[in-house]
Structure 1
Amino acid sequence: MRFVIQILLWAVIIFLAYLTFNAVYEPLQFNKVKEKRYTKVIKNLKDIRSAELAHKEVIGKFQGDWDSLVKFIDTAEFAITQRRDTTFLDEEYKKTYGVDQYIESVIIDTLGFVPVKDSLFNGNEQRYRNMMNVPVEGVDAKFELRAGFIQKGENQIPVFEARIPKAVVLQDQDRTLVLQENEVQSVDDVNGRYISVGSMTEVSTSGNGFDRYGGEGDND
């Protein structure tokens, strides 16, 4: 009888040790997976941001449709310009007052054009044609993309947002850990339920978690 009790006690001890090990090991593994996937996702989001900023520079607004954004990159060009400061005599002022007065001005010369796809992506078509796809093996999903305008005083300011739920990126991970991840609020992590860039409610092209997972950081 005593031997049986000892066996049962050892079984309980081993089981508790297993639970303790898992309580530590699973979050560590989860964080490793999360870091690798977030880094890949944010790399794509940075490409999306570059494409959107180029669209705004050339067209004057952001684009909320993937096909249209890719077509823009395929065909659009940046103007290469040179700025020159100059002055010239105000003839009307001289006629009226008999005194020379010079007006300062700026002349912008267009030197040429360069394709957007070469400037941003070095001509790598696969990179921008696939930037809307979540780059995680086993995840068949696209980033959500929206664009529009918000009112700031008397001005309509163009905005955009691209995002993907964390739950999609981490869809094969422990559900409890994913739910905990959705509640993260930190100055150097991805806050909330989405990994995102831009905003539809404020003027921003910053990314959520870019400083931590984006390599060189968020410079915009």
Structure 2
Amino acid sequence: MKVAINLLLTALIFLLIYMIYTSIREPIAFQEEKGRRVDVVIARLKQIKTSQEIYRSIKGNFAGSFEELINVLKTDKIPFEKIENDPSDPTNEDKFIRSTSYAPAIDTINAMGINLDSIPFVPFTSGQKFEIAADTIEYQNSKVPVVQVGTKWKVFMGPFGDAKYKKYDKYFDPEKMLKFGDLTTPNLNGNWE
């Protein structure tokens, strides 16, 4: 009888040790994985933002789809304006020269290390795409192009995308978007900045 009680107590001790270990390990694993995944997703969003800015320099607005963005960046050219002499100098009033040259957008994209074929896809997913929307709005009596690109936290957090992990980070909300841009104001900032 004594041996059975000792074995039962020993098993109970090991069970408690395991439960304590997992209760400590889970928040640490969540924070590590969250940091790693957020960094990768933000890096991809920054590439999309750069690509959208190049697209805007070509077309004057933002791309409303990844297909349109990729097609233009693979086939069109970026204008580069060169101004010789200072146009604001009153002595150079009519003496400054403005010239425009063009370079393939794909060369600039490749030089930046951006892979156009992978930018639509959210890292850590099996092919899910970022949500993308572009529009033109009235802002301070003028029409301005706006864009918003992002994804919900639960999409890229994998097994940690559940609401139960809010207890480890009060700012974590799997339904919130990690994004840049805004469809109501001309703002390209990311909400991680």
TM-score calculated relative to the size of structure 1: 0.72
Q: 2:139 aligns with which of 121, 130, 152?
A: 152
Q: How many angstroms apart in 1 are the aligned matches of 2:20 and 2:165?
A: 20
Larger radius of gyration: 1
1:204–1:132: structure 2 CA closer, same or farther, 3 Å change rule?
Answer: same
1:12–1:151: structure 2 CA closer, same or farther, 3 Å change rule?
Answer: farther
Q: 1:173 aligns with which of 156, 160, 169?
A: 160
Q: How many angstroms apart in 1 are the aligned matches of 2:82 and 2:26?
A: 57
Q: 1:116 aligns with which of 101, 105, 109?
A: 105
1:132–1:181: structure 2 CA closer, same or farther, 3 Å change rule?
Answer: farther
Provide, for residues 155-204 of structure 1, a one-character-per-residue CA deviation record: whole Å limited to 9, x for no partner. 2221111111111112233735555579517xxxx997222111223321
Q: Does residue 40 of structure 2 align to residue 40 of structure 1? A: yes
* C-alpha deviation, 1:206, in angstroms: 1.4
Q: How many angstroms apart in 2 are the aligned matches of 1:182 and 1:128?
A: 34
For the Cα contact (< 8 Å) 2:139–2:185, is it kept in 1? no
Q: 1:134 aligns with which of 122, 130, 137?
A: 122
Secondary structure at the aligned position of 1:63 is classed as coil
Secondary structure at the aligned position of 1:206 is classed as coil
AA matched with 1:207: G
AA matched with 1:149: T
1:130–1:174: structure 2 CA closer, same or farther, 3 Å change rule?
Answer: closer
* C-alpha deviation, 1:21, in angstroms: 0.9
AA matched with 2:20: T
For the Cα contact (< 8 Å) 1:143–1:164, is it kept in 2? yes
1:34–1:14: structure 2 CA closer, same or farther, 3 Å change rule?
Answer: same
Q: How many angstroms apart in 2 are the aligned matches of 1:9 and 1:113?
A: 78
1:72–1:117: structure 2 CA closer, same or farther, 3 Å change rule?
Answer: same
Q: Which residue in 2 is equivalent to 1:59?
A: 59
Number of residue-to-residue matches in the alignment: 192
For the Cα contact (< 8 Å) 1:198–1:206, is it kept in 2? yes
Q: Which residue in 2 is equivalent to 1:163?
A: 150
Q: How many angstroms apart in 2 are the aligned matches of 1:174 and 1:69?
A: 29
Q: List alignment gaps of at least 5 residues for structure 1.
A: 88-100, 212-220
1:2–1:134: structure 2 CA closer, same or farther, 3 Å change rule?
Answer: same
Identity %: 22
Q: List alignment gaps of at least 5 residues for structure 2.
A: none
For the Cα contact (< 8 Å) 1:85–1:107, is it kept in 2? yes
Secondary structure at the aligned position of 2:37 is classed as helix
Secondary structure at the aligned position of 1:127 is classed as coil
